[in-house]
Chain A
């Protein structure tokens, strides 16, 4: 375990970049799916991927090097300076729940759309326009 920690400290910049990079990549991949994929389910997946990226970004922002989880426990009352920021994590939890609800609703709408139009191609679902 200590070896891992050393490794971690050694490449901390790299890891930070990797985490942020992953988050931004996820957002871009999701946007790609939302904007260019024609299949409704793929669009919904894209939305979820964007969400995941944003959530990751949140957690990454709240992370502090070498710190512990933000839990106060007996014998650990004065550890606050060594904890990661708890607020983003709380926010992410909320956001995940919301994202879940939206995805569920979106998929149910997709099913309804498929039944109605017999296609899942978003280009062909435009009976409401202008």
Chain B
């Protein structure tokens, strides 16, 4: 039997197994789920996948296969899921419905793996839907009353996207007579020349999953409200399915640069840019660390969408690089948020601070990931941003977009710093005195993910190599790359490993220095121990600048905050519901009225018989 099929079957069986195991032994459930994922990963990486798996079912040929492009996304999915599951074991320990959680978790992994492995549109849709409903189960996991609308919002948007895809898929079958991806792409499904609604519908589905504005509405609360151990996968890996799909949609454009495709790519690039800016701006004003990260996720995916819609070699490389890196640092950051939530009880940045003393390792992970997120050298995020700028400037000459991206990237510093400061730096609150460091099973995944950020910063070639191979499979020519030297058209050669190690050494020295110095000379003051200068203050009020952190900025950008896509969608939903509630009143409850409907309908049919039945 084919190795790909076995991989998926293991996951499917594992999901059912964990669901059942919960009723037998609660403690074992998490470890069993972890074992299943590890086993899947070992099996998957340990086997040669040299043949496609085809399966005829219901008149459709399902085809699953393997390629270099798929491998990148599989790596993201498998590694991140294994780490998150390890993290979950302690994170979820005290919560209810463990079987439900782990079964849905593994089912989501199955869905994602299936999406990436499928080589035909039907199985793409099937796995896409599996992924969607299983992740829906996880989004609504925390509390029904709080988030019932949020979970539904996610589901409704996903369904709109998925059904747009389904419409496109059935029309592909009608126009091109095949469900097979490679054949259909060869026949020009995504060429934007005829039936251009097909790629647009597909892109809609993928863009919704990647939370591109204005379809991002589900994302902030979706990311923030699901259990953090899942959000790491949700934001890190599942949103990448949208990116994977968009890469598919663009394959024809990448090769032949059709004019229709150009327009579409430009539109999408701008949508990505706007998403990046708006996501960043909204991230700034969040006081909840989880919400902040959620908006930051939206913004980061905006970059990736922009990068891949440039259609150039460097741009796609940047997209793939950022996709991997975003999985690493955003996965780590959500885990950090989860660790803080579990240990300190909240992630409200105005309520807690100074956790660096209590959770130094978590702080280290947060620091590394935030640096990577902000795109500061020498970590991996910088390389991705660099590639993106270079692609935009030298290859697609889209200078306005450069400005937009640059703006949002700069503003990203602000919220990245706020995240770090709000949770870890500053004075310590009394309430957090007893907070302990997160348990080892939670720390290890976070540390591994931060090591990814560090290593890819010094040796970006680790990602360049598979990415370059992957790009060859979607039609790009081969690409020069070096393990740790970035070169560009202006003739600069930058050796990242030297810079990386230099900066690391300096950083470590300063860190050690500050730690020792800090121990001796600081005077400890509480956050509510405030000497006011003319301001009136009440007893016990926290007036440090954790409160109203970006007040001036908030004032400056006030017009932006009035633009709330969420409200528009919610108004639409409420209006629809009211309309539905009104229109069901045709069922009046009076039997005689129903009889009148019958007779009236009969009379109508008789009157208009010539028009209806010719």
Contact = CB atoms under 8 A, between A and B. Distances in A.
Do A and B touch directly, given a CB cutoff of 8 Å in the complex?
yes
A129 B585 CA distance: 8
A78 interface: no
Contacts of B584: 130
B64 to A, nearest CB: 48
A38 B585 CA distance: 21
Interface residues of A, number: 14
Contact of A35 (B585, B587, B588, B599): B599
B599 A43 contact: no
A122 B596 CA distance: 13
A129 B589 CA distance: 4
A130 B593 CA distance: 13
B596 A126 contact: no
Given A31-B599, A35-B599, A122 B592 contact: yes
Interface string B585-611: 101111110011001000000000000
Given A31-B599, A35-B599, A129 B587 contact: yes
A37 to B, nearest CB: 9
B589 A35 contact: no
Contacts of A23: none
Nearest to B590: A126
Contacts of B588: 126, 129-130
B585 A130 contact: yes
B591 A125 contact: yes
B595 A34 contact: yes
Contacts of B591: 122, 125
A86 B194 CA distance: 65
A127 interface: yes
Interface string A113-130: 000000000110111111
Contact of A128 (B589, B595, B596, B599): B589
A1 to B, nearest CB: 43
A66 B592 CA distance: 43
B466 to A, nearest CB: 59
Contacts of A128: 589
A34 B593 CA distance: 10
B74 to A, nearest CB: 50
Most buried by A among B587, B591, B592, B596: B592
Contacts of A123: 590, 592
Contacts of A34: 592, 595
B484 to A, nearest CB: 69
Contacts of A35: 592, 595-596, 599
Nearest to B585: A130
B589 A127 contact: yes
Contacts of B590: 122-123, 125-126, 129
A31 B584 CA distance: 26
Nearest to B591: A122
Contacts of A31: 599
Interface of A: 31, 34-36, 38, 43, 122-123, 125-130
25 contacts: A31-B599, A34-B592, A35-B592, A35-B595, A35-B596, A35-B599, A36-B592, A38-B592, A43-B592, A122-B590, A122-B592, A123-B590, A125-B590, A125-B591, A126-B588, A126-B589, A128-B589, A129-B587, A129-B588, A129-B589, A129-B590, A130-B584, A130-B585, A130-B587, A130-B588
Given A122-B590, A122-B591, 5 more contacts: A35-B596, A38-B592, A123-B592, A126-B588, A130-B585
